Chains A and B, each alone.
Chain A
Amino acid sequence: MKGTNLFLKIFTILVFLFLYSPIIVMVVFSFNESKSIGVFTNFSLRWYEKVINNPEVWKALFNSFWVGAVVTIVSLILGLMMAMAVTRYSFSGKSILESLILIPVIIPEIAEALSLLIMYIFLNIPLGPVTVIIGHVAFCISYVTIVMRARMAGYDRSIEEAARTLGANEFQTFFKITLPTLYPAILAAGLLAFTLSFDDLIKTLFTTGPGFKTLPLVVWSSAARGGVSPELNSLSSFALSISFLFAVFRLRVERRLER
């Protein structure tokens, strides 16, 4: 028994090492003074200084935030409506709809990105922030719907009926009862949508217009321009830490939701 236990421990550690060592290496070398990627010489924040003094990074960060915020709000509204429709009503074509909503989760992102781009060109829509947002919303709705649907499947509707018997009309019931009781799920779904939008590269790359860059795009173009450099390391670590914060926040919310 004890032997197996030790084996399991070592195995688990190895798996996590495998998963995280590239990230650890990247973060460690972002603090390297030397310009060389291979050898760690001295601890230094000079690359971070460079990143922080780069106005392009700040502009991209700002873009990422507001795109993420708009995407989150739009996909929350649409996803919530979708989840309510499929959990509360029966209508013809419901099962088809339920499968369709899963497709953005399943199909390769590159295919989705390409088809979006083709559609924009076909419809003659100028590329820019709007097309990026539409592209993000198109797949974030799916995730929001999935999270909300799971939560609403076990929703006890008698509290809504109770509100109705107490004199609340349908709007009052929705805003005073339904929304507040779904709040943790909405928060979790919203954070998920935001993180997905914030981290997205491929779709943004395909659907953005000239001059409009999000943070992952800056990382990408800097890598494409100059190859791997310590500055890129610190830039990536910077982007990573922001996403990481959101992920931690989301997990905490989800844990509270399970309770």
Chain B
Amino acid sequence: MSDVFSVELENIVKRFGNVVAVDHVNLKIRENEFFSLLGPSGCGKTTTLRIIAGLEEPDEGVVRIYGEDVTDVPTHKRNIGMVFQHLALFPHMNVFENIAFGLKMRKVQKEEIKKRVKEILEIVKLEGLEYRRVNQLSGGQQQRVALARALVIEPEVLLLDEPLGALDLKIRQHMMVELKNIQRKVKTTFIYVTHDQTEAMTMSDRIAIMKDGKIQQVGTPLEIYYRPSNTFVASFIGEAVNLIEGEVVENGLVDTSLGTIHCAGSLTKGRVAVMVRPEMVEIGDKLYNVDNLFRGTVQSIIFKGSYIEYRVDVEGNTFVIHKHGSAELGRLHHLGDIVEIGWKKNSSIIIPI
């Protein structure tokens, strides 16, 4: 992995009136990385992106692009590309003119413009649509035009602000794979803002989770899923999560209202939460080979296709369990059944509160 940083944010603060939209954000984004800013709406992720673009001026802090301080450089002089949430294609221009706009602003020769537009149209798979009006294109095609327009200028960084938000699920899933492929092909840093964890998980090399203007955690999708640094990240990422509060008594042992829970080793002390992902919990009439074992009552059963979601009540605590891939998808357990649930100690992670 590259040690060159394409974008660095140093102590960025942005206030809107009394609201602190971005609160001392520090980020170092590597060259050619697919980096996502993920968080609920209003967490400051779009503002952070707009600060990198120069569309928003930070109240404090420094923005660097490839080491150069660009904090006071206006947008049109930063070598960035941006794909907007509602695409922002120029309605009075056709596909070719939209894509060529950035090159014209850079005073590129006519022949060269033609050549480069052609190349980029191939990459985004829009050959032959040069002279269509943009409002005659489908949502997915408009998406590609927006992408091509931002990429054709060969920006040092490509910023994407929830660009897939307006698309249907199927096209969105397709575009996710496509985007990742395009990123590999053009070899540019992509900074991607989204509130959709599937998008972030699918495409990103690393993800920064934001909440209330602050970065909660930066890590690979795996790290963020399995090693969340706090309970917000734990519950924000993934479909569901089991969190049990307790007190660390000894390395890897947490005292909770359900008794002592065996966990993976951790240096954290004091009050903590124990996190277990639903797919790590086993369920059965009799369980063996688990380090933590509880007995409870089945509260609800939901068939979700590739798995069954059980909710099991253990002394007033509800556990969510995802049971995958059993050959007989008939219901193994029924409502009101007394069952055993359990997991191995390495599946439970200690998170500081």
B102 at the interface (CB under 8 A from A): yes
B88 touches A167 (CB 8 A): no
In the assembled complex, the CB of A15 is this many whole angstroms from the nearest CB of chain B, namely 39
A166 touches B88 (CB 8 A): no
B105 touches A168 (CB 8 A): yes
Q: Which residues of A contact B88 (CB under 8 A)?
A: 156, 158-159, 161-162
B75 at the interface (CB under 8 A from A): yes
A241 at the interface (CB under 8 A from B): no
Interchain CA distance A165-B102 in the complex, whole Å: 8
Indicate with 1 or 0, residue by residue over B68-102, a CB within 8 angstroms of chain A CB atoms.
Answer: 00000011110011101110111110000000011
Interchain CA distance A165-B159 in the complex, whole Å: 10
Task: Say which residue of B54, B76, B89 sits within 8 Å of A168 (CB atoms).
Answer: B76
Known: A177-B90, A180-B92, A181-B92. A165 touches B101 (CB 8 A): no
B55 at the interface (CB under 8 A from A): yes
B150 at the interface (CB under 8 A from A): yes
Of chain B, the residue at the smallest CB distance from A172 is: B105
B153 touches A166 (CB 8 A): yes
Of chain A, the residue at the smallest CB distance from B159 is: A165
A255 at the interface (CB under 8 A from B): no
Q: Which residues of A contact B91 (CB under 8 A)?
A: 159, 181
Known: A159-B89, A177-B90, A180-B92. A167 touches B153 (CB 8 A): yes
Of chain A, the residue at the smallest CB distance from B106 is: A167
Known: A158-B85, A172-B105. A164 touches B76 (CB 8 A): yes
A162 touches B82 (CB 8 A): yes
A169 at the interface (CB under 8 A from B): yes
In the assembled complex, the CB of B87 is this many whole angstroms from the nearest CB of chain A, namely 8
B53 at the interface (CB under 8 A from A): yes
B323 at the interface (CB under 8 A from A): no
B92 touches A169 (CB 8 A): no
In the assembled complex, the CB of B204 is this many whole angstroms from the nearest CB of chain A, namely 22
In the assembled complex, the CB of B145 is this many whole angstroms from the nearest CB of chain A, namely 11
Which of A158, A167, A180 gathers the greatest number of chain B CB atoms within 10 Å?
A167
In the assembled complex, the CB of B94 is this many whole angstroms from the nearest CB of chain A, namely 13
B214 at the interface (CB under 8 A from A): no
Q: Which residues of A contact B105 (CB under 8 A)?
A: 166-168, 172
B149 at the interface (CB under 8 A from A): yes
A205 at the interface (CB under 8 A from B): no
Interchain CA distance A167-B102 in the complex, whole Å: 6
In the assembled complex, the CB of A186 is this many whole angstroms from the nearest CB of chain B, namely 13
Which of A156, A166, A181 gathers the greatest number of chain B CB atoms within 10 Å?
A166
Interchain CA distance A158-B85 in the complex, whole Å: 9
Interchain CA distance A164-B102 in the complex, whole Å: 9
B101 touches A163 (CB 8 A): yes
Interchain CA distance A167-B101 in the complex, whole Å: 9
In the assembled complex, the CB of A103 is this many whole angstroms from the nearest CB of chain B, namely 32
Q: Which residues of B contact A158 (CB under 8 A)?
A: 84-86, 88
B86 touches A166 (CB 8 A): no
B92 touches A161 (CB 8 A): no
**Interface residues in A124-180 (C-beta closer than 8 Å to B):** 156, 158-159, 161-169, 172, 176-177, 180
Known: A159-B88, A159-B90. A164 touches B153 (CB 8 A): no
Q: Which residues of B contact A177 (CB under 8 A)?
A: 90
Q: Which residues of B contact A180 (CB under 8 A)?
A: 92
Q: Which residues of B contact A169 (CB under 8 A)?
A: 74, 76
Of chain B, the residue at the smallest CB distance from A176 is: B101
Q: Which residues of B contact A164 (CB under 8 A)?
A: 54-55, 74-76
Of chain B, the residue at the smallest CB distance from A173 is: B76
**Interface residues in B15-37 (C-beta closer than 8 Å to A):** none
Interchain CA distance A172-B159 in the complex, whole Å: 22
Interchain CA distance A176-B150 in the complex, whole Å: 17
In the assembled complex, the CB of B52 is this many whole angstroms from the nearest CB of chain A, namely 11
Interchain CA distance A177-B97 in the complex, whole Å: 12
**Interface residues in A162-217 (C-beta closer than 8 Å to B):** 162-169, 172, 176-177, 180-181, 183
In the assembled complex, the CB of B104 is this many whole angstroms from the nearest CB of chain A, namely 9
Interchain CA distance A172-B107 in the complex, whole Å: 13
A156 touches B106 (CB 8 A): no
**Interface residues in B193-226 (C-beta closer than 8 Å to A):** none
B80 touches A165 (CB 8 A): yes
B86 touches A165 (CB 8 A): no
**Interface residues in B90-130 (C-beta closer than 8 Å to A):** 90-92, 101-102, 105-106
Interchain CA distance A169-B85 in the complex, whole Å: 22
B90 touches A165 (CB 8 A): no
B89 touches A165 (CB 8 A): no
Task: Say which residue of A162, A167, A172, A183 sits within 8 Å of B84 (CB atoms).
Answer: A162
In the assembled complex, the CB of A256 is this many whole angstroms from the nearest CB of chain B, namely 13
A162-B89, A163-B90, A164-B55 given. 8 additional CB < 8 A pairs?
A: A159-B88, A159-B89, A161-B53, A161-B75, A162-B84, A165-B75, A166-B76, A168-B101
Which are the 9 A-B pairs with shortest beta-carbon distances?
Answer: A166-B102, A167-B105, A158-B88, A162-B88, A165-B82, A164-B75, A159-B88, A180-B92, A158-B84
Task: Give me the interface of A with B, judged by CB distance under 8 Å.
Answer: 156, 158-159, 161-169, 172, 176-177, 180-181, 183
The 15 sampled A-B contact pairs (Cβ below 8 Å) are: A158-B84, A159-B89, A162-B84, A164-B55, A164-B75, A165-B75, A165-B82, A165-B150, A166-B76, A166-B81, A167-B77, A168-B76, A168-B101, A169-B76, A177-B90
Task: Give me the interface of B with A, judged by CB distance under 8 Å.
Answer: 53-55, 74-77, 80-82, 84-86, 88-92, 101-102, 105-106, 149-150, 153, 159
